[in-house]
Amino acid sequence: MSRMGYETKCRLCRSEGTKLFLKGLRCTGKCPIDRKGAVLPGMHGAKGRRGKPTDYGIQLRAKQKAKRTYGVLETQFRNLYLQAKKLKGQIGDNLLILLERRLDNVVYVCGLSSSRSHSKQLISHGHILVNQKLLNRSSYQVKIDDIVSLSPKIIDTAKDGLRLSDKDFNPPSWVELEKSKYLAKIASLPRLAEIQSGVDINLIIEYYSR
C-alpha cells in the first residue's frame, strides 16, 4: 500500500480518537496517536475543539467507528442491521456476529492477512479459497465447517507479512487454525466474549432505531 494510503488510515484513527488497527501489525509500531495523542486531522487539529456532542452525534460516531473498523460501506452496514433484526436473539449481538462472519474479517482474525484491508485485497485478487474454491466476495458469511485458506500460489511471497507469522498470534477459539497449511476451519459461530472490536453496539442500535 502507498504511503498516501497509510496516512489516510491514520487520519481515520485520529478522527475517531483511538486506534482502529486499520494497518494491522503496523499499528503496533510507530503510530501518530502514540506520538501525538488523538489529535484531530488537519492543520488546526491540535487546537480544534469539538462542542459537547449530542446523543445523535455520539450514536453516529459509534456507527462510523464500526464501519471503519470492519471496512464496510453504509449500505452494507445497514443491510447487516436489517438482517440482524430478523434473526432470533438480541439485535446487537446478531449484528456483531454477522460482522465477524464476513469473509474479509475471518481472513484477518485467522491471521491469513496483515489487516482487514489486506484481506479485501487478497480476496478480490483471487488469493483466498473457501472449501478449496476461489471466492472473491468479501461480504460472504462463513458457515460452520467452512475451510478458509490462502492460495498456494501466494504463500511463499506473502507468508512473512501475515499475522499468523507473529509468534504471539492466537486465533479466536471459534476457528481451528493449521498454521503450516495456512488454513482455518470454522468450528462454531463467533463468540461474543472474544470479539474485541471496541465497538459500542448499543449506540449503533439506538442510531438505527431513531
SS3 label, residue 184: strand
Cell of 123: 480476496
Say whether pTM exceeds 0.85: no
For residue range 115-125, what is the model confidence (pLDDT) as tens digits? 999 999 999 99
CA–chain centroid gap for 87, Å, is 22
pLDDT at 51: 72
pLDDT bin (cut points 50, 70, 90) of residue 44 is low
54-99+194-210 carries CATH number 1.10.1050.10: yes
**Cell representation of residue 122:** 487478497
**Per-residue pLDDT at 14:** 58
Distances (CA, A) of 145 to 56, 74, 130, 151, 174: 40, 30, 10, 19, 11
Section 24-39 average pLDDT? 59
DSSP 37: -
Q: Give the residue from 150, 159, 190 showing the smallest Cα distance to 172.
A: 190
**Per-residue confidence (pLDDT) for residue 141, from 0 to 100:** 98
Q: Does the pLDDT at position 48 exceed 80?
A: no
Coil, strand, or helix at residue 141? strand
User: What CATH architecture applies to the domain 102-188?
Assistant: Roll (3.10)
Domain residue ranges of the chain, discontinuous segments joined by +: 1-51, 54-99+194-210, 102-188
Output the average pLDDT for the chain.
Answer: 86
Is the pLDDT at 112 greater than 90? The verdict is yes
Query: Are 163 and 178 in contact, with CB atoms under 8 Å apart?
Result: no
| Topology of the domain covering 1-51 | Ribosomal Protein S4 Delta 41; Chain A, domain 1 (1.10.1050)
Q: Tell me what the mean pLDDT of segment 43-69 comes to.
A: 82
The pLDDT assigned to 23 comes to 59
1-51 and 102-188, same CATH topology: no
Separation CA 20–CA 200 (nearest Å):
13
Binning pLDDT at 50, 70 and 90, where does residue 88 land? very high
Phi and psi angles of residue 61, each rounded to the nearest 5 degrees, phi first: -65, -40
Nearest to 172 by CA among 81, 121, 97, 118: 97
DSSP of 127-140, one letter per residue? -EEETTEE---TT-
pLDDT band, very low/low/confident/very high, at 26 (cuts 50, 70, 90): low
